[in-house]
Amino acid sequence: MRLKLVPERTDWDFFRFARLAMLVSTALTLLSVLLVFLIGLNFGIDFRGGTTVRTLSSQAVDVGAYRERISPLGLGDVVISEVFDISFGPDEHVASIRFEAQEGDESVAAETVIRLQQALRVLDPEMEFPLVESVGPKVSGELIQKAVIAVLAAIAAVLFYIWVRFEWQFSVGAVAALIHDVVLTLGIFALLQIKFDLAIIAALLTIVGYSLNDTVVLFDRVRENLRRHKKPELMKVLNLSINETLSRTVMTSATTLLALLALFVFGGDVIRSFVFAMIWGVIVGTYSSVFVATNILNRLGVKRDWSKPQKDAGTKFTSDGS
Amino acid sequence: MLQISLWKRILIFGLCLLGIIAALPNAFYTQVEKYNDAAQAIEGGALETTEIKQALDGWIAWMPSNLVNLGLDLRGGAHLLAEVHLSDVYTDRIDAMWPDVRDALREVRAEVGTVRRTDSPVGELHVRISRPENIAQAVESVAELARPLVSLTAVGANDIEVDSEGDRVIIRLTEEEMAATDERTMQQSLEIVRRRVDEVGTREPSIQRQGRDRVIIQVPGIGSAEELKELIGQTAKLTFHPVVRRTSSGLDNPGAGNVIYPSLDEPGQFYVLERTAVVSGDQLTDAQPDFDQNGLPAVTFRFNPAGARKFGDYTAENIGAPFAIVLDGEVISAPTIQDHIPGGSGIITGRFTVEESNRLAVLLRAGALPAGMNFLEERTVGPELGQDSIDAGKVACVIAFAAVLIFMFASYGLFGLFANAALLINLVLIFGALSLIGATLTLPGIAGIVLTIGMAVDANVLVFERIREELNTAKGPARAIERGYERALTAILDANVTTLIAAVILFVMGSGPVRGFSVTLGIGIITSVFTAIFLTRLLVVIWFTWQRPKQISL
């Protein structure tokens, strides 16, 4: 008896919900943009400058007491949060303290960190500081810029690749799905106020890769079916392609999610937000390749006459496979 | 039909075997690490102690001993991003030019009159002459000091350009000279930082230039970024100046050709010194921590012959006069010259602690930084946190792996087992490749590997799903398998190339941990495609030709 996540043969009508899906996707995308602008992302020190200190103590973390010790130092906006993880022992209590880059400091203020550590050691002389990170305002500005450029460059490169391999309509569909995924990820980060740092950019780019991976597999099948079935209308071909690849789509998403969930639960708190971004990205990416990319392709229409291969940019690297 | 030629089989299995051999040292990480250290020590001329011998016995000599480097976030250590103040050096260059300019103008004194240096912006030297009507001649004689640059990119350019403005001669460095100076400054800074870090003797420090004026310094195993900063943040420019007078105010006008520096350990005490140093730290050949006659920590030093001669001459001529030992613009001490010091060695006393004298000696031995630095970014990771991350990563990897293996077997049965074998090999290949190219594994890198485990099955899933479809239409299982592989190929390639593009862009644009992630992701994509379309296929074909099943179930 085999495990089957979806029946071997499906004939579900994915376009029945096309309008609804488009509506929901558009609404969520707009909402995400709104959230990012209204609430804003909870930028980590990589992007806003400042210092984070991780504390490790054998005594329970009392955020109030910590704050009381730290506030006389006049560090401005200080965020103190306790960190939980299943790997911590009963006598391991971890907190993360973040404060802004101090006024007028071009470089990183070492004394500030030392003063903070001294202040906290009053509470627990044995307290350890396993992680201290400081980023100056000069670098953080550049990091944002670089990150944005990296994401845009990735999208542009992929747009170009798909345009070369398929047709421009596919390219638009794939990139729309891609932007949908990235924006929705930014949205959830703004909504839940999860720390957004450099590693999240890596996660975003992975989402870009994953979302495309899914979309491209689907498009590959669409291209093949368009050649095979010349008569039926485009929507039917698209729907057939989705159904045919559905089993694979679900399988791959499931294995990837399994691996990511293991990492989310057992991988430690340091990379949890990073893994969260990827989990979210896989879910959204799977959804978007089925509902967003194909929908856009359906609206844009595709040239159906594939009988003149010399004019088809999309077929020049593929074998007919017969 | 389902045939794979012998040489292809050998190639596929050979590659897998190579991967296994390359990855193997990582299974014995500590032993191999010790072995490598010992081998390096022997190469460096160390004697074969029992300890070294033991370490050498810990690993097989003919096996590869390349390991995956662990990043700072896994091993613990300190990371600094420093910015070098390149323009510091312009000031030094211009200052050094002043005596020559003065001499050149003195030769034409009859025409240009008296000369005086005036305040000027960074990178420029302004000289006022008392007879402005002959400014052209002054410019001309100073311009003779310009020397052509020796470099491929600056053919025909001189190091300085001379201009005039009213009664002032303006000497400034040319763009080309500044570029050449910048390049030199960066090279020197990297070298000095490397020497200083090496003096501390930690394992595999990484010192890299980034962009025009930045240096990334990563030192595993060091206690904190603070320690590292103290070591490399100090310019450690040691100079010896004649003392003009002492003063209690830092705002005094020191007078032309002089500078005013504070005392290091007497607050409120300042010294007016001649700007031009008698000798400087770059003429030191050695510096050692020591104790003075009162048993207090001190640093002894020795000059090279040229420095020793200058130092000897100066002390002989100025017995009874005070002179100042200046470190980075602060007077460490200003003893009176008791006697002629001919040997070129001396002692620096001050209120040092033992650690400070040790550090000063290290800094002096390594040489001064050509320019100051400030720090834009610093990170310290404690070794325990690193170990925790490794442990957590391992647990996550094993669980992710087990889950995917079970899932694949449950979904595809025997074919799932083939995919699982390929998945295992895939993981081994990733580690093999990472070891061979000497890549650094970071925490996001581990995440990349776990993600690859999930995504690596994708190619196999694509093929298996395709075979299932073909079984419905094609004649016989052999044909279905073959067509399944054929037809899934374009989808596999397209899908993975797009992900690879993202990984490459991440690598090019990213920095630090993000890069580590992109490397594992990129390698993972390549190995997963290899294992899926070559290895699994080969396994399936071997099984099929052996069993010759009438029908297959997927």
Nearest CA in chain B to A153: B505
User: Is B377 in CB contact (< 8 Å) with chain A?
Assistant: yes
Q: Decide if B146 touches A, using CB distance below 8 A.
A: no
**Domain ranges in chain A?**
14-43+140-315, 50-135
Q: Judged by CB atoms within 8 Å, which residues 500-519 of B form the interface with A?
A: 500-503, 505-506, 509-514, 517-518
Within 66-125 of B, beta carbons closer than 8 Å to A belong to: 73, 81, 83
**Chain mean position to CA B351:** 33
CB contact under 8 A, B502 and A106: no
Choose the closest CB to A3 out of B380, B411, B462.
Answer: B411
CATH of domain A14-43+140-315: 1.20.1640.10
pLDDT digits (tens, 9 = 90+) for B262-291: 888 778 888 988 888 888 887 888 888 888
> What pLDDT was estimated at residue A106?
60
Give me the domains of chain B, ranges plus CATH numbers.
6-26+384-547 (1.20.1640.10), 86-180 (3.30.1360), 238-351 (3.30.1360.200)
B371 interfacial to chain A (CB closer than 8 Å)? no
Asked if B388 lies within 8 A of A154 by C-beta distance, the reply is: no
Contact by Cβ (8 Å): B370, B352: no
Which residue from B500, B505, B513 is facing A150, i.e. has the nearest CB? Answer: B505
pLDDT in tens, B125-171: 888 888 888 888 888 888 888 888 766 666 677 888 888 888 888 88
Tens of pLDDT, residue by residue over B353-365, are 888 888 888 888 8
Strand segments, DSSP code E, in A30-173 are: 42-43, 50-57, 78-83, 93-99, 128-135
Can you give the pTM of this predicted structure? 0.77
pLDDT in tens, B208-253: 888 889 999 988 878 778 888 888 877 788 888 888 888 887 777 7
By CA distance, what is B395's nearest residue in A? A266
Best mutation target among A198, A261, A263 (most B Cβ atoms within 10 Å) is A263
pLDDT band at A319 (very low <50, low <70, confident <90, very high): very low
Whole-complex ipTM = 0.81
Measure CA B167 to chain center: 48
Residue A109: count of CB within 10 angstroms of its CB: 18
Chain A nearest CA to B216, separation (Å)? 12
Give yes or no for a contact between B204 and B221, defined as CB atoms under 8 angstroms apart: no
Asked whether the beta carbons of residue A248 and residue B462 sit closer than 8 angstroms, the reply is yes
Selected residue of B409, B460, B492, B505 to mutate for chain A interface (largest A Cβ count, 10 A): B505
Cross-chain CB nearest to A220 (options B412, B468, B491) = B491
DSSP secondary structure string, A195-259? EE-HHHHHHHHHHHHHHHHHHHHHHHHHHHHHHH--SS-HHHHHHHHHHHHHHHHHHHHHHHHHH
The beta-carbon neighbor of B450 closest among A135, A154, A262 is A262
How far is C-alpha A278 from the chain's CA centre?
A: 5
Model pLDDT for residues A219-261, shown as the tens digit of each residue? 888 988 888 888 888 888 899 999 988 888 888 899 989 989 9
CATH class for the domain made up of A50-135 = alpha beta
Inform me whether the pLDDT recorded for A185 exceeds 90. yes
Using CA coordinates, name the residue in chain B closest to A136.
B376
Which tens digit of pLDDT belongs to each residue from B373-400? 888 888 888 888 888 888 888 888 899 8
Mean pLDDT of the A37-56 span: 88
> Could you tell me which chain B residue has the CA closest to the CA of A137?
B376
CA distance B82 to chain A (A): 9
Q: Which residue has the tokens 């910590």?
A: A66
Contact B376, B79 (CB under 8 A): no
The amino acid present at A200, given as its one-letter code, is I
Residues on chain A touching B506 (C-beta within 8 angstroms): 150, 154, 202, 205
pLDDT at A29: 95
With contacts defined as CB-CB under 8 Å, which chain B residues touch A170?
none
Mean pLDDT of B452-471: 85
Q: Which pLDDT score, from 0 to 100, does residue B517 have? A: 78
Say whether A131 and B381 touch across the interface (CB within 8 A): yes
Question: Under an 8 A CB cutoff, do A209 and B491 touch?
Answer: no
Q: How many CB pairs under 8 A join A and B?
A: 249
Q: Do the beta carbons of residue B39 and residue B56 sit within 8 Å?
A: yes
Q: Do A266 and B502 touch (CB under 8 A)?
A: no
Judged by CB atoms closer than 8 Å, whether chains meet at B447 and A267 is answered as yes
Checking if the pLDDT of B206 tops 50, the result is: yes
Cβ atoms of B458 and A252 within 8 Å: the answer is yes
